[in-house]
Amino acid sequence: MRPTGEVGFVEWERARRRLWRACALVVLASSTGCAASSPSVLHAKGPAERQVTGLWWSMLAVSVVVIVFVVVMGGWGVVKTRRRREEDIHRDVPWGDRFILISGIGITGAILVAFFLVSLRSMATLARARPSSVEITITGHDWWWEARYPNGAVTANEIHIPAGERVQINLRSADVIHSLWVPELAPKIDLIPGRENEMWIQANQPGQYRGQCAEFCGLQHAHMIFFVIADTPADFNTWMQDMAAPALAPATPIAVQGQQVFLSNTCIGCHSIRGTSANGQLGPDLTHMATRATIGAGTLPLTPQTLTQWILAPEQIKPGVTMPPTSLTPDEVRALVTYLLSLGFKS
Ligand code: CUA
């Protein structure tokens, strides 16, 4: 209730202004947050997501019609009641029961059943197996993504696909439940330990599409980011061949030293570098790691500085990560970083 008296009024005004400021901040923060870099489910860039977007818009349109109808009827009822005399209020409305039955149960039920049927049709379309130009197996790990291609190429957190083609994705989990979600390309599908799920994905145009784990999977769930990179079919084939090739041999003395550091330390317990004796399977394959744009599954851009920080103290960048810190000397770390950043493609 609005207080009376001068002191009460001043306090009330202050509180009111604070509330307005807080509301404005929330609106500003949410709008700028959404605009910054979050992909939107409403900007469909492929046929699978278009199915979902179409359904969403039709649900929104019908909901708006229903809400407007309910508000208008409610308002109309209030106005009519105010104008009536006391004895009129309790008078029976002859069509009242029929109206409640038809609009409240009949039309509402029909809308819900219609949306249920349309949703079933969309789900069937999305689940139907179709001929696919390439089949990728994606495994979710705490907290990164592994992608394996039919020709032996293995990579992490950057999943290349040919643009304009339907791509079959097989989904597995190495530990807990994760959920693969590329808002602009496809609805989210869970990766469940002990079972294999399937989905298909298609990007109409070449480009980079951000994805995110959409099922809470532990401390670094929010840093389980990935990118789907749609290349032209020719570029994709070149990429897949390059990615399947063994690692480049170190070309400089410092890179040779870096390779020795890698192969003689605990790195090889978790990481593979194809073409060397490093054959660990717990962490990301590093055969061509210099071709990737980020480390820690989208946590930081890949640069000599961030890679150095990551090797020295991964826990400080991504608390909870299973990679242990190292006790290498500064020279060894420098050589190791030089070697890892030389692991590009041949061409
Ligand atoms: Cu994986 Cu959340």
d(CA 31, CA 4): 37
pLDDT at 219: 94
Average pLDDT over residues 83-100: 74
Report how far residue 268's alpha carbon sits from residue 260's, in angstroms, rounded to the nearest whole number: 11
Q: 271, 266, 261: which is closest to 335 by C-alpha?
A: 261
Q: Where is pLDDT greater, at 125 or 270? A: 270
Instruction: DSSP letter for 272, please.
Output: B
What is the rounded average pLDDT of the residues 115-136?
A: 85
- Position 104 scores a pLDDT of 83
**Cβ–Cβ < 8 Å for 220, 320:** yes
pTM of the full structure = 0.80
**More confident call, 212 vs 37:** 212
The structure tokens listed for 340 are 């890892």
How many Å lie between the centroid of ligand 1 and the Cα of residue 237?
Answer: 30
* Phi, psi dihedrals of residue 93, rounded to the nearest 5°: -95, 120
For 17-47, the pLDDT digits (tens) are 777 776 666 555 554 444 446 888 888 899 8
Task: Give the closest residue (by CA) to ligand 1 atom 1.
Answer: 178
> 224: Cβ–Cβ under 8 A, 6 or more apart, which residues?
140, 143, 144, 145, 178, 212, 213, 217, 297, 298
Mind listing the pLDDT tens digit for each residue in 143-193? 999 999 999 999 999 999 999 999 999 999 999 999 999 999 999 999 999
Q: Which atom of ligand 1 is nearest to the CA of 221?
A: 2
CA–centroid distance, residue 258 to ligand 1 (Å): 32
Residues 134-143: tens digit of each pLDDT:
999 999 999 9
Distance 217 CA to ligand 1 centre (A): 4
Q: Is 213 in the pocket of ligand 1 (CB under 6 A)?
A: yes
Atom of ligand 1 nearest to the CA of 217: 2
Q: What is the residue-averaged pLDDT of the chain?
A: 88
Start-to-end CA distance of the chain, whole Å, equals: 74
Both tokens assigned to 297? 């599954």
Instruction: Decide: 261 and 335 in contact? Cβ < 8 Å.
Output: yes
Q: Model confidence over 226-248: pLDDT tens digits?
A: 999 999 999 999 999 999 999 99
Q: How far is the CA of 295 from the centre of ligand 1 (A)?
A: 16
Whole-angstrom distance, CA of residue 155 vs CA of residue 308: 21
DSSP string, 193-253: TT--EEEEE--SSSEEEEEEE-S--STTGGG-EEEEEEE-HHHHHHHHHHHHSPPPPP-SH
What is the identity of the amino acid at 249?
A
Spatial separation of the C-alpha atoms in residues 110 and 117, rounded to whole Å = 11
DSSP 123-156: HHHHHS----SEEEEEEEETTEEEEE-TTS-EEE
Q: What is the residue whose two structure tokens read 């870099």?
A: 37
Q: Give residue 334's pLDDT band: very low, low, confident or very high (50, 70, 90).
A: very high
What proportion of the chain, given as a percentage, has pLDDT over 90? 69
Q: Under DSSP, is residue 167 helix (H, G, I), strand (E, B) or coil? A: strand
CA distance 154 to 136: 10
Q: What is the mean pLDDT of residues 261-274?
A: 94
pLDDT at 98 over 80: yes
The pLDDT of residue 341 is above 80: yes
Among residues of the chain, what percentage have pLDDT more than 70? 88
Banded pLDDT at 7 (limits 50, 70, 90): low
> What residues contact residue 262 under an 8 Å CB cut-off, 6+ apart?
268, 273, 276, 278, 336, 339, 340
216 lines ligand 1 (CB under 6 A): yes
